[in-house]
């Protein structure tokens, strides 16, 4: 009986440190996280942009309704895009790897601060290197 309990416990615990990622994999993961972070920051202005047509003068009620419907559709698209990116298999792999890494080495992880990286919001395209 004791050996069964030990075997079950061993199956629940991760075996050693996570498999290390290559530099290329890490850079790709950082780019995915950067994009996810940018998209999440953009969501902060979704509701004000969605309500903006309600505060402007329109020629007719139909124009006001059309403008409002367009802004709602745009907001829904932004939310859908974020949800798709956040729940993608690639994002899940990155989050799982980060979780394993934190479990293996929980000390010495410094918090990321935007003020330390002034160009973080730039989503430049990588060219051939």
Residue 7 lies in a domain: no
Note the pLDDT of residue 128: 42
- DSSP H or E segment with residue 28: helix 23-42
Give CA–CA dist 55/77, Å, rounded. Answer: 22
Per-residue pLDDT of the chain in tens (129 residues, 90 and over written 9): 444 444 444 444 444 556 788 999 989 999 999 999 999 999 999 999 999 999 999 999 999 999 999 999 999 999 999 999 999 999 999 999 988 888 888 887 777 787 887 887 776 654 443
For 70, the domain range is 23-103
Number of domains the chain is built from: 1
Which pLDDT score, from 0 to 100, does residue 114 have? 79
Is 41 a domain residue? yes
Look at residue 3 and tell me if it is in a domain. Answer: no
What is the model's pLDDT at position 2? 45
Tokens at residue 15, please?
């075996």
Which phi and psi (to 5°) does residue 106 adopt? -75, -15
């Amino acid at each position: 009986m004791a050996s069964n309990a030990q075997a079950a416990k061993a199956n629940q615990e991760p075996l050693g440190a996570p498999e290390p990622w290559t530099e290329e994999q890490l850079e790709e993961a950082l780019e995915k996280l950067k994009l996810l972070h940018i998209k999440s920051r953009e969501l902060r202005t979704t509701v004000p942009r969605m309500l903006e047509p309600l505060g402007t003068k329109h020629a007719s009620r139909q124009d006001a309704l059309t403008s409002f419907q367009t802004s709602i559709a745009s907001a829904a698209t932004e939310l859908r895009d974020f949800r798709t990116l956040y729940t993608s298999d690639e994002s899940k792999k990155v989050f799982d790897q980060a979780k394993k890494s934190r479990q293996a080495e929980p000390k010495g992880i410094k918090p990321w601060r935007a003020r330390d990286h002034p160009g973080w919001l730039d989503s430049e395209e990588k060219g051939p290197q």
